[in-house]
């Protein structure tokens, strides 16, 4: 982290005063100190176990390879376009469960002076996210816990296939801020679910999302985004490797089943991209 505007976005998770940069660390007035890793991210989770849902290094490698091949580029473009409509060019963007920082970087490209903070609990993801964009920083945090982020500082919160903490989304967003949430629809990867034994998408996912955001957010609109990818077998393996299904199949079982699908494999990508606005008391 450099001593820049993003530093004023973070608060100490233990007291919670402002953080300042010292040699190789961030420190608050009470001298709580958080090391900046060699890879450029700061872990604010000192003393806490990492979230059990954090992506493993193997999952992060698979995700980086799959996204790097451009298969989800239409989603990145959609998020970049919406961000440029929703946030000021010099705004603050917080990505909750940022993973490799792929979408945070796409959004920052569309907002020429904006700064981005990626929160994630996976060390492997943070290493990549910290280098995802020159205006992005990454902090280790469990997004289920109250965030070490200043109230009302964010213009845009991104949440792409990651855990949702409605009260914290609401607290960190400024009054004109927006929340962008991406969820897979029931048609996402439908060609692979049977043959590869992938977990089904919960058909009530959108409904659960709305309920988790409660009455404190108003849905402004949803774009449905769907296209067919033509995936080389290696990239199908990456796609499976980056999902929770990765835990259910051995490497041998996976390559056997992928081998039977042909090469390339037509696979549907299908997402709901929703824009929410925070509702303030009295609105
Ligand atoms: C499915 S990945 C999505 C990553 C990224 N948004 C993307 O779409 O490429 C979910 C991410 O959420 C992170 N995650 C899971 N539980 C978390 C938690 N409790 N706190 C912070 N991050 C968490 C994982 O480590 C992983 O990077
Ligand atoms: Zn402190």
Q: State whether residue 141 is helix, strand or coil.
A: coil
* Helix spans in 202-259 (H): 205-213, 233-241, 251-259
- Sign of torsion over alpha carbons 94, 149, 161, 137: positive
pLDDT of residue 262: 86
Atom of ligand 1 nearest to the CA of 158: 6
- Which class is 5-278 in CATH? alpha beta
What's the CA gap between 1 and 169, in Å, rounded?
23
Kindly give the pairing relationship between strand 25-28 and strand 19-22.
antiparallel
Give me the count of residues in the chain: 283
What's the CA gap between 117 and 107, in Å, rounded?
12
163 in ligand 1 pocket by Cβ < 6 Å?
yes
Residue owning tokens 């903490």: 165
What's the CA gap between 200 and 241, in Å, rounded?
16
What's the CA gap between 246 and 226, in Å, rounded?
24
Pocket test for ligand 1, best of 59, 122, 162 (most atoms within 8 A of CB): 162
120 in ligand 1 pocket by Cβ < 6 Å?
yes
160 in ligand 1 pocket by Cβ < 6 Å?
yes
For the entire predicted model, the pTM comes to 0.95
Indicate the DSSP class of residue 271. E
Indicate the DSSP class of residue 36. B
Pocket test for ligand 1, best of 44, 52, 54, 126 (most atoms within 8 A of CB): 54
- Tell me the β-bridge partners of 183: 272
Of 196, 198, 201, the closest CA to residue 183 belongs to: 201
184 in ligand 1 pocket by Cβ < 6 Å?
no
Joined tokens for residue 248: 């259910």
Domain-wise residue ranges, the chain: 5-278
Tens-digit pLDDT string for the chain (283 aa)? 444 688 889 999 999 899 999 989 999 999 999 999 999 999 998 776 667 789 999 999 999 999 999 999 999 999 999 999 999 999 999 999 999 999 999 999 999 999 999 999 999 999 999 999 999 999 999 999 999 999 999 999 999 999 999 999 999 999 999 999 999 999 999 999 888 877 777 777 777 777 778 789 999 999 999 999 999 999 998 998 888 665 567 778 877 888 888 889 999 999 999 999 999 876 6
pLDDT of residue 2: 45
Pocket test for ligand 1, best of 53, 189, 243 (most atoms within 8 A of CB): 53
Atom of ligand 1 nearest to the CA of 97: 12
């Amino acid at each position: 982290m450099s001593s820049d505007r993003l530093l004023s976005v973070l608060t100490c998770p233990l007291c919670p005063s402002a953080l300042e940069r010292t040699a190789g660390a961030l420190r608050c007035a009470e001298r709580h100190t958080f090391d900046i890793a060699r890879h450029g991210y700061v872990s604010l989770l000192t003393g806490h176990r990492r979230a059990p849902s954090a992506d493993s290094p193997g999952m992060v490698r698979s995700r980086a390879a799959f996204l790097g091949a451009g298969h989800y580029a239409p989603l990145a473009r959609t998020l970049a376009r919406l961000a440029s409509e929703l946030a000021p060019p010099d705004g603050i963007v917080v990505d909750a469960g940022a993973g490799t920082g792929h979408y945070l970087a796409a959004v920052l490209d569309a907002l020429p002076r904006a700064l981005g903070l990626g929160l994630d609990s996976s060390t492997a993801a943070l290493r990549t996210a910290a280098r995802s964009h020159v205006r992005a920083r990454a902090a280790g945090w469990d997004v289920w816990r109250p965030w070490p982020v200043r109230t009302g500082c964010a213009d845009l919160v991104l949440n792409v296939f990651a855990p949702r903490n409605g009260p914290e989304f609401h607290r960190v967003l400024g009054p004109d801020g927006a929340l962008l949430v991406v969820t897979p629809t029931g048609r996402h990867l439908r060609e692979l679910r049977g043959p590869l034994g992938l977990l089904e998408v919960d058909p009530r996912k959108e409904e659960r999302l709305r309920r988790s955001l409660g009455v404190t957010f108003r849905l402004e609109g949803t774009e449905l985004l769907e296209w067919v990818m033509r995936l080389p077998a290696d990239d199908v393996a990456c796609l499976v490797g980056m999902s929770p299904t990765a835990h259910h199949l051995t490497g041998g079982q996976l390559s056997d089943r992928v081998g039977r699908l042909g090469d390339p494999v037509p696979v549907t990508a299908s997402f709901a991209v929703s824009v929410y606005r925070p509702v303030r008391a009295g609105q």
